[in-house]
Every structure is written in structure tokens, then in C-alpha cells.
Amino acid sequence: MQGELARLGHPLAASTVWKILHQAGVDPAPRRTGPTWKQFLTAQPHTILACDFFTVDTVLLKRIYVLFFIELATRHVHVVGVTAHPTGTWVTQQARNLLMSLDQRADGLRFLLRDRDTKFTAAFDTVFTAVGIDVIRIPPQAPRANAYAERWVGTVRRECTDRMLIAGERHLSSVLTEYTKHYNGHRPHRSLGQRPPNPPPQVVDLSSARVQRRPILGGLINEYSQAA
């Protein structure tokens, strides 16, 4: 603003502009007050839950919507629903089902991140605010603001749905159930020190043990563990 005034030869000096803004309590752009979005996400990830949709097209060119939630701290994913008709009522019911499955774990959550999709209705938000979870809508046309959810969509597409022919809703639900079980319990994550969201109770030194391979999704993915 100051540079533009100077370029146009405006008589209002830069120091005067700064004084007016300072008296009004306006800090220099782009930072105003409070933490940045990145600082907010990294400061208290254990209290944040994110949600989003992604779509899968079947072999008959029918589009199916998948609703999922992800816990930011652990990267634990919950695929809560698969449907060709994601109405607001359906989405709200899936939210209730999620909170019931989380049980006491929901007590530690304080924030839910979601985009501005119209399928997320006021009733959906009320499900979370009723238990003390604040719903935060990401800025318009800013998918990076929900980067954790977007990253998982890319992962499940690359490793699973883009490499399979999906016949219908029941088939997709079965596939995603098996994949998320692998993702949460076995797949290593760089941000978690190469450990899965829900690691096994004991770490086995595979260099001195017999290794057993277990195929997942018909051999699309393989898991390795100590042989009995």
C-alpha cells in the first residue's frame, strides 16, 4: 500500500500510513494476529481430526463416494461410509457412528477440519459441537489446508483403488476395509519413524528370524512378519 501511494505521488507519507495502521491495531501484512495455519496444525495434532470425501468409479462407470476421517497425530484412518448417494442425512449418521466407535478416545479431540462441501450440513457440525469438538472449515479453494486428508487420498489411490477394478459398493467397502486395516496396522510411515499408526505390541528383529509373507488384496500388497 505504501509503495503504491509513493508510485502514484500521493502526498500521504509512508510514515503517516504506518502511524494510522498502528493506531488502528493493524499489523503489517500478511501476518495479523495468532499462529499460522501450519503452526496450528503442528502445535496440537493429538486434538485434531480431519475428514473428506474421495470418489471411485466402478467398471460400469458408476461413481461411488467414500467418506473418511483421519487422526492427525497418529495418521489413523477411519473409512466410515461408502455410497453412491451421499446425502446430508447419510453423512450426519456416519459422523454419529464414528463418535460411537471412538468412544472415550473422542474426549481428547478438540477440532475437526473439513472443507466447504454442501454435504457437510449444519446437522453434521452439531454432532461434533455437541461433544465439545469445534468444527473448522478450511479456506475456499485451498485443498492444501487439509493436507493430511489429501495425502491419504493420494496414498489409497496409488496403492489400492487405481490398481483394481471395482464392481460396486459392496466390493469397494470390502477392499477399503482390508486396505485400511493394512494401512493402520502394518504400513510404515516416515513421519512416525517408519512405524504404522497402530504398531504391534512387540517389535521383532527380522534379521534373526524366519520371515513370513502374507498377501493383501489378492497379492496387490504384501505384509511381512515373523513366522510362527
Burial-class residue 117 by CB neighbours within 10 Å (0-12, 13-18, 19+): middle
If pLDDT is split at 50, 70 and 90, which confidence band does 8 have? very low
- pLDDT above 70 for 121: yes
Say if residues 80 and 14 touch (Cβ distance below 8 Å).
Answer: no
For the domain made up of 37-199, the CATH class stated in words is alpha beta
Residue ranges of alpha helices (H) inside 8-133 are: 14-23, 37-43, 88-102, 122-129
Interior angle at CA 140, CA 139 and CA 143, nearest 5: 80
Report pLDDT digits (tens) over 123-160: 999 999 999 999 999 988 777 889 999 999 999 999 99
Say if residues 64 and 169 touch (Cβ distance below 8 Å).
Answer: yes
Question: How far apart are the C-alpha atoms of 217 and 74, rounded to whole Å?
Answer: 24
Report pLDDT digits (tens) over 49-75: 999 999 999 999 999 999 999 999 889
Strand 48-57's sheet: what is its strand order? 77-83, 63-71, 48-57, 111-114, 134-137
What residue type is 77 in one-letter code? V
- pLDDT above 60 for 6: no
Structural domain spans, the chain = 1-33, 37-199
